[in-house]
Chains A and B, each alone.
Chain A
């Protein structure tokens, strides 16, 4: 029983606005290319495991279709609903991040406890939920920051003057957010999951930034992060070896057959591609040379098969997606929508940037998957769900005034 338009509230009417077609198309195209890329990159792995060569492709395609449907359905939801949901999502993700430590798995395969298995949904990484949860919650709260009542200490309190001053200068405002980020980050580092932590921090920071938190926090945070990074890189042996391998992958003590192996194989793949690539499906590096060729390093295979031109096209599609994302953000009907979209878009952009930087050895390696491309069903679903949220926001963009 569909209600007739005039029976709807204003809000309901707004949520039935037109979806942003460019953004939708970009998502669909990227998902399609991604699924096809998985097909090419995964079949030697599947065959080697004694599976149907199309095994991974079929699964990924299934998740892709389901994910796109889910995205559409989510886009139909009035995104204001997410405000209320956000605290719930964040809470659940923190619970899951706690649960993953004793009940998760992954220690044996990647050396980190990152996955958890739930009935019906199957195995997934709680960190994926945490990213969305943080962004949703931050966006929901920060959109109200101008109307929030500022707490005051009792006037007689010895620190009330200082407190008031700090409050006025915005020193106090981000502290609750930092605490949340801290909790999430610590939980993820216990898995450990460095790259996931970075993404959560980036997602949260982007919302904080866009919302208008005082810039000195970012200057200070940036300085702190740089100092920390510098310390880790120079003072810890773990990062020192990573750094050495980043500078020269062959210098891993086994002439490129140990820790430098994966990045070397990735470079071989990308380099072999040349301008136009060796042709779709004709990658050689995927034949058990390049580890994780259907996962984190899927872009290397894409570069090998499609060449610089193919790689550039994909990156340009990502750029367009990101730009359109920010466009939706700045046109969003309210601040919550804007911040939500800014968070999701930035998260996606950073993920793409980091993944491609790693496979091209632009930065030291860290395990970040490529959105829409890397094999992984729930990751793709969550990715598309996030896109659904963006589309949901896009529906409520006010139509331009007709002059």
Chain B
């Protein structure tokens, strides 16, 4: 009911039913639409966004809302068996620019200047942080191009512009100072990261391997790669929330995932033995003009632990891409000067339609790749070679174990032998033949016909059994990368192993083994018959020092008996004691071994090797030293340019003797001397002639007097000096001891008697090592004090002798 006033009258408005009805219906219509229908799509849309696509949008939102910074875990350290650090990680810094933050820093500088100008306050006491200023200074500190830094600074929206990675501590200090002095902490950041250091440089480089700093410090080669998951640890994360302009929201939505530091490896390698192995290897490479490097493994025969493991050529894992080996460098240079010489790569590039220039580039980069691989590869586990005569030690053990030969057996060698099934005679290294020899002599002579006979006595079946038992048919399962799954390459299957195969296999030819297989088998020959599983990682500990894994020596099987092993040791000792390995002899140590000169399919390419163990009665170490391809003086020559006869006995054995002496000394194995043992010079001061003489006699020394006083007033050598037994001591009676020095003479090429005379004339003493007692052709080749050095009278000069005309019996 509506009322309406008009003037004084009140007009009753008649209810208009039709109008009211229209309003009612249309209002209800609007209600239906805006009170219900319109909102249905909203619910649908919200459901889609919030429920169906919730995770999608949440992920995107979280991505922009959080700053996910990683916390690098410290990579584990690698220690040698004595706890010396072989590889370690340290924190270094990457330099990161944030042009976006720098813009703000620059703006706030401007504001500060404006404010100062308005209010008359102080201007900032540091220079304006212009892009130019920042670029110039950083470029100067980091040795970068100013232009490059400016380029980075141009990306004004970016927050992450890395301008240099892993800078030195001095550089990072300088950058920090620059940041502090110029108030640039908002915009220039030093981001911690880690760098791998190998404090001992190239030591055990192929065993340890290296990490690739360009790929997040992931292990690329060697143990670094093999034990990547153990060493790397677990990278941690800090997730912090940030607001829309990138400011961190402290204490909001912060999540930590702690980094777990990597585990540490303790190796069986002994850094000292390792360095001996490497220096011996390298010396030999230079001495014998070796072209393809070599390897040297030292193993504890009783456990299978690898004590030293050297490869040549080598490199410095701190800078793995640099080629420092002279032989490899020379090759690289030659390819650079004549790219076509790297024929395969060059022709391949040409065939692919490259221009001559591109082909040259391809050839060079291929050569670079080849040499880098050569220096990184641990050949002693990855590649195989013909073991040659060193393998005879294994055949010997098998034959003795089977009882098909005994020490009293005799073998006749005429220089060659016919084998059934093969048309040509198989020659022995000594063309004239070794004549009649007992078993020990046959081994010492490394006589091929004798070993063919031994092989025949064993028979193909048994022989093959022993190949298997000594582990030549499969991998050694050492904890190192790169071992071929077949082990070496025994090319014959059991069924196809013929009589001729047996004949050549008996002296180690026509099949390949890995150096590691050979030394593992040889260890079994001398250690009492136990085939041990070789290993290099003795222990894995976590960052807190808890032992996670400890490697116990694992015996795979007993191959031959203790007794057989003992007999082998005795026979193999004779190889060094007057046989082909006599150059490996070390005065005072009992060394056993077997020489080897392996032929290859290439002409004039020999691998000379020596397999040695010591002490012969109770082996503490087994070594396998090989030089690959000493360069003959001229094609077909059997000597090098320096007149070294190319054979295991004349090359590897010499170096092996030195190496064993050093290792045994390091291991604390005492030398045992006979007649020529060193003796101590007693104090003769104040004694009369008779007393002095008898005192010297007691010590196996002779006397020579100078002067005619009653009592001794001086002596050379001095009290307490150690000189070879039987030497002469000069006694001064009332005469002053001469204090002048004498010059050490050059003894190269002298026989032992000549050397002794030459030295004693000067008042010096000779201590002979090496092949000292055998034959007339034994001459000095190395001396402990270089010729020309001035020394006191009475000094002992250690001289190493070698039998320079040892027959070609290196086989």
CA distance A267 to B48 in the complex (A): 11
Residue pair A339, B1 in contact (C-beta under 8 Å): no
The reply on B26 being an interface residue by CB < 8 A is yes
Residue pair A357, B42 in contact (C-beta under 8 Å): yes
Residue pair B49, A270 in contact (C-beta under 8 Å): yes
Residue pair A356, B42 in contact (C-beta under 8 Å): yes
The reply on A59 being an interface residue by CB < 8 A is no
Interface of A is mostly: helix
Residue pair B26, A268 in contact (C-beta under 8 Å): no
Query: Which residues of A251-286 are within 8 A (CB) of B?
Result: 267-275, 284-285
CA distance A188 to B400 in the complex (A): 114
Chain B nearest Cβ from A200, distance in angstroms? 16
Residues of A within 8 A of B54 (CB): 271-275
Partner of B243, one of A273, A288, A303, A308: A288
Query: Which residues of A308-362 are within 8 A (CB) of B?
Result: 308, 311-312, 315, 318-319, 322-323, 326-327, 329-330, 333-336, 338-339, 342, 345-346, 349-350, 353, 356-357, 360-362
The reply on A211 being an interface residue by CB < 8 A is yes
Query: Which residues of B590-646 are within 8 A (CB) of A?
Result: none
The reply on A133 being an interface residue by CB < 8 A is no
Residue pair A335, B23 in contact (C-beta under 8 Å): yes
Residue pair A275, B51 in contact (C-beta under 8 Å): yes
Residue pair A289, B244 in contact (C-beta under 8 Å): yes
Partner of B46, one of A145, A268, A270, A342: A270
The reply on B31 being an interface residue by CB < 8 A is yes
Residue pair B26, A360 in contact (C-beta under 8 Å): no
Residue pair B57, A353 in contact (C-beta under 8 Å): no
Chain B nearest Cβ from A141, distance in angstroms? 13
Residues of B within 8 A of A318 (CB): 39
Residue pair B244, A271 in contact (C-beta under 8 Å): no
**Closest partner residue, chain A, to B243 (CB atom):** A287
CA distance A333 to B1 in the complex (A): 7
Residue pair A268, B2 in contact (C-beta under 8 Å): no
The reply on B126 being an interface residue by CB < 8 A is no
A303 and B50 in contact, given A11-B3, A270-B57, A319-B35 (Cβ under 8 angstroms):
yes
Partner of A287, one of B42, B57, B249: B249
CA distance A212 to B58 in the complex (A): 49
CA distance A289 to B65 in the complex (A): 9
The reply on A237 being an interface residue by CB < 8 A is no
**Closest partner residue, chain B, to A339 (CB atom):** B23
Residue pair A338, B34 in contact (C-beta under 8 Å): no
**Closest partner residue, chain A, to B34 (CB atom):** A349
**Closest partner residue, chain A, to B246 (CB atom):** A288
Residue pair A335, B30 in contact (C-beta under 8 Å): no
Contact with A along B1-43 (1 / 0, CB 8 A): 1110000000001001011101110111011001110110111
Contact with A along B775-800 (1 / 0, CB 8 A): 00000000000000000000000000
The reply on B548 being an interface residue by CB < 8 A is no
Residue pair A267, B57 in contact (C-beta under 8 Å): yes
A206 and B244 in contact, given A212-B22, A323-B35 (Cβ under 8 angstroms):
no
A272 and B27 in contact, given A288-B245, A350-B34 (Cβ under 8 angstroms):
no
Residues of A within 8 A of B53 (CB): 271
The reply on A44 being an interface residue by CB < 8 A is yes
Residue pair A288, B42 in contact (C-beta under 8 Å): no
CA distance A80 to B337 in the complex (A): 107
Residue pair B35, A349 in contact (C-beta under 8 Å): yes
CA distance A307 to B57 in the complex (A): 13
**Closest partner residue, chain B, to A329 (CB atom):** B27
Partner of A335, one of B19, B60, B245: B19
**Closest partner residue, chain B, to A362 (CB atom):** B45
Residues of A within 8 A of B65 (CB): 284-285, 287, 289
Residue pair B50, A270 in contact (C-beta under 8 Å): yes
Residue pair B23, A210 in contact (C-beta under 8 Å): yes
Residues of B within 8 A of A285 (CB): 61, 65
Residues of A within 8 A of B22 (CB): 211-212
Partner of A330, one of B1, B2, B28: B28
Residues of A within 8 A of B60 (CB): 268, 271
CA distance A288 to B31 in the complex (A): 38
CA distance A307 to B54 in the complex (A): 10
Residues of B within 8 A of A287 (CB): 65, 241-244, 249
Residue pair B34, A362 in contact (C-beta under 8 Å): no
Chain B nearest Cβ from A45, distance in angstroms? 11
Partner of B49, one of A267, A338, A346: A267
CA distance A345 to B24 in the complex (A): 15
Residues of B within 8 A of A307 (CB): 50
Residues of A within 8 A of B20 (CB): 335
Residue pair A312, B23 in contact (C-beta under 8 Å): no
Residue pair B51, A274 in contact (C-beta under 8 Å): yes
Query: Which residues of A129-158 are within 8 A (CB) of B?
Result: 145-147
Chain A nearest Cβ from B29, distance in angstroms? 8
Counting chain B CB atoms within 10 Å of each CB, which of A44, A206, A330 scores highest?
A330
Chain A nearest Cβ from B101, distance in angstroms? 16
CA distance A336 to B2 in the complex (A): 9
A272 and B28 in contact, given A334-B2, A339-B23, A360-B45 (Cβ under 8 angstroms):
no
Query: Which residues of B219-253 are within 8 A (CB) of A?
Result: 241-245, 249, 253
Residue pair B2, A342 in contact (C-beta under 8 Å): no
Residue pair B50, A311 in contact (C-beta under 8 Å): yes
**Closest partner residue, chain B, to A273 (CB atom):** B50
The reply on B492 being an interface residue by CB < 8 A is no
Residue pair A271, B19 in contact (C-beta under 8 Å): no
Residue pair B243, A346 in contact (C-beta under 8 Å): no
A271 and B50 in contact, given A209-B26, A338-B23, A360-B42 (Cβ under 8 angstroms):
yes
Kindly list 9 other residue pairs between chains A and B, CB separation below 8 angstroms, not including A287-B244, A335-B2, A349-B34: A11-B3, A212-B26, A272-B61, A287-B249, A289-B64, A312-B46, A346-B30, A353-B38, A357-B42
Some 25 contacts from A to B, beta carbons below 8 A apart, are A44-B243, A145-B19, A146-B18, A210-B26, A268-B64, A270-B49, A271-B56, A272-B54, A272-B57, A272-B58, A272-B62, A274-B51, A287-B243, A287-B249, A312-B43, A326-B27, A330-B28, A333-B2, A334-B1, A335-B23, A342-B30, A353-B34, A353-B42, A356-B46, A357-B41
